[in-house]
Every structure is written in structure tokens, then in C-alpha cells.
Structure 1
């Protein structure tokens, strides 16, 4: 019995030891800065349909995550906080009629859980792709004189990510990527000449950024 117990303990030790070597389990922190470009945005209510675009703005994010080694690829799980600046409003129309509007547009602060796959190779350049899901707090500041949306709302959000990481040392690397971010059906209040109404605000944006990553 003792011999069998010893053999079983040795087998478990070898299996768990091998599994530990197979996983990198490295933690990392990263920061990124870049530019934000939005798609055409829409604010919808039963009697009002507002279309507009925003000028390009700034983008910044920070993340902390963990790396899991899966052979030819690394799988990363990370928590990310990001800020996307609003911007001057252009190409504004309401109910199909061109007009002009002022304000800071729509800015977004998001908190995302991302899953990212690194494609390992023999070079310092590591392509990666992934996506994330989370929440965003949108802040709107839009007015055409007769109608205005100056409100905040929190909504479900998702993003897709594709980029490349460039190793500088064992612990440091720089990375650059393109991200498509979308927030779904945030509800805000439209204040108009005939009263107030709830409106659905769709927000989506592309960001291009460069960042620094530190593994520890």
C-alpha cells in the first residue's frame, strides 16, 4: 500500500510539474496612446433621427493581464480601461435635413475584459489578435440650437483587436494595434422645443495606438 501511495504521489508530482513548465503564467502591465476615429453616429427616437460624424480625437488605455503558454501561441487574459475623446461635430443632419451643431460630441470611458492570442515565431515581431467585452460610460454634448443631448449613459460594449508586438528585452516590448470598438444602445435624454424624449445612442470608433508593455 505504501509503495502504491508513493508511486501515485510521484506520478502526480511529475504531471503537475510538467504542467507548470508548460504554462508561462507571466503577468504584464501595458499602456497605450493614439488617435480615435469614429464611424457615422446615430441618435434615434420615434420622431427624431440625428446623423453626424466627429473629427478625430485622442485615445489612451491601460491594461494588466496574464499570459498562458499554449505551445505555438500565447493566450492572454487582460483587464483594460480606456478613454476615447469626443470631437467637433461635422456632417450633421436631423430627420434627413442638413444642419449645424456644436458641442464636444461623444466621449467614452470603457472597462473591458480582453482575450488575445499571440502568434509566436523566431523573430522579435509577434502578431496578435483578439477581442473583448465590457461596459462603457458615454458622455454626449450635442446641440443644434433647437435640440440638444447633454447626458451620460452606461452600456454594453465590445471590441476587436489586431496588432503586432515588438520585443525589446526579456521584460519590455512595444506594440501597435488597430481596435474597433462598439457600444450598444445607450439610452439618453433629448431636450427639444417640444419637450424631452428618450433616445438610443449608438457609438462606434476605430483607434490606432502605440504602447509599451512590461512583463513581471
Structure 2
């Protein structure tokens, strides 16, 4: 079951949660379930946008550290490389889908973490971001959300009206614009509604983004 939230797309993909010593948690997925969502990254209509997997703390929504992740089937075993962003990057391979390995993730000790599937830009943004830069991303994010949600999702999904900029290390600050306006950064996030920018106005980002997610209409 997929639930659309303001930060993007969050989903539970039939994950099993196993208790481990020292309050760690292990999550188990069927590869084919992940593949079903990842294959949308190959579809047309959203070249600058992707589906990505993370784990976030249940109480705070802050990202959880992935201690270890791997897949196995019978005697075959492959461990995943986890980048500093803590994104769970799983290979997209139709042969693996047919074999059907299980994917295991050991999440951060001492925290209750939820599996999070989000729609985000493939590349971080930095420097000056124009109205047109944002404008071209919105239909791509809408298309990806529709692809993930199925045939009739566009009837019920909230409209993508802007972007949510996430920064690592900037908690309380502001994004300045080329016309002297500001968008507040609260707890590392800034929500920018495209309607609040003029067509010849740009954002001046204080640092490279950690993630850029869709901003959905309430």
C-alpha cells in the first residue's frame, strides 16, 4: 500500500522486521518487490528524477544509518555499498527478479526505523536555481508519482506545486532569491512553492542540497 505525503512518496513493501541483539533491527524484503518500484527509473518522462530508498526514524523522520545491507539466495551472497547519503542502492536486474533473492538491511542500532521510498532529483542542486529549473522538474515528479501509483493515481494524488530542499548541516537558515526574497530553512528543509517565485527570479542556495523532493499541495 502506497501513501503519498508532503515529502514525496513513502511506502511499505511487505518488509519483515527481525529483532537483533543490542536493539538493532533487521529488515527483509523480497527483491522482486523492490524491483517493481525501481524499474520506474527506466521509464520515459522523468529523466532528472528517480525513485530512491531510505530508512527514517519513526519518531523524528530523520534518516537512519544503514549498518549493513546485502542480498542472498541459497549459497549466493552480495553485500551492498552504502553511500554517505544512506540511500539503499539495489542493482536493477531482471535476472535477479527471476531468481528472487532476499534483501536484508541492518538499520541503526537503538532506533525504530521505517522504510521510506521517495521521489527525488537524480542529482543534487547547488548555486543558482532558476524558476525554469524548478518548473521543468515538477511535471517529471508528477509523472513519476503517477507511474508509482498506478493507472488511476493521477485522479487522487495531490498536485506537485514546488520543491522541498533538504540540506545536511544547515538546520535553521534561509534561501535568498535574486530579488531579495527569502524562503526559510527549518530543521534542514526549505519548502519552495513555484507560485511564490517570479519567472525571472532565482534561488541562491547556501550549499549543495542533500535531497530535493516534491512539494505537494495540501
The structure whose Rg is larger is 1
Report the TM-score range of the alignment, normalised by the length of the smaller protein.
Answer: under 0.3
Asked which structure has the greater RCO (Cα within 8 Å, sep 6+), the reply is: 2
Q: When you count strand as a share of all residues, which structure comes out higher?
A: 1
TM-score (norm 1): 0.20
Q: When you count helix as a share of all residues, which structure comes out higher?
A: 2
TM-score (norm 2): 0.20
